[in-house]
């Protein structure tokens, strides 16, 4: 885990992002996965899970690391 952290921080530094790990965690904690649940007229429970809209700071960090800004697709399940 330590080596992975070092690689992430080095990659970010090379892109001009020089935040401490705690600051990065704080910034990235603003983007979350949200589940909305509702009951339709047939009595089925529908769950929709999606990632919140990334803020500019998220996009900058993800781009520097070569990661997609929305790594997980929207997921809908019906019970």
Tell me the pLDDT tens digit for each residue of 11-47.
Answer: 999 999 999 999 999 999 999 999 999 999 999 999 9
Contacts of 76 (CB under 8 A, 6+ apart): 46, 47, 48, 49
Note the pTM of the prediction, 2 decimals.
0.78
Instruction: Please give the pLDDT value at position 61.
Output: 96
Please give, one letter per residue, the 3-state secondary structure of the chain.
CHHHHHHHHHHHHHCCCCCCHHHHHHHHCCCCEEEEEEECCCCCEEEEEEECCCCHHHHHHHHHHCCCCCCCCCEEEEC
pLDDT band at 70 (very low <50, low <70, confident <90, very high): confident
pLDDT one-digit tens code per residue, 42-68: 999 999 999 999 999 999 999 999 999
């Amino acid at each position: 885990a330590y080596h992975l952290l070092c690689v992430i921080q080095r990659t970010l530094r090379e892109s001009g992002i020089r935040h401490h790990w705690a600051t990065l965690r704080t910034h990235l904690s603003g983007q979350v996965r949200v589940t909305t649940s509702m009951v339709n007229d047939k009595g089925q429970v529908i769950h929709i899970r999606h990632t919140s809209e990334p803020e500019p700071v998220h996009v900058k960090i993800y781009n520097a690391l070569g990661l997609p800004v929305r790594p997980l697709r929207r997921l809908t399940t019906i019970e």
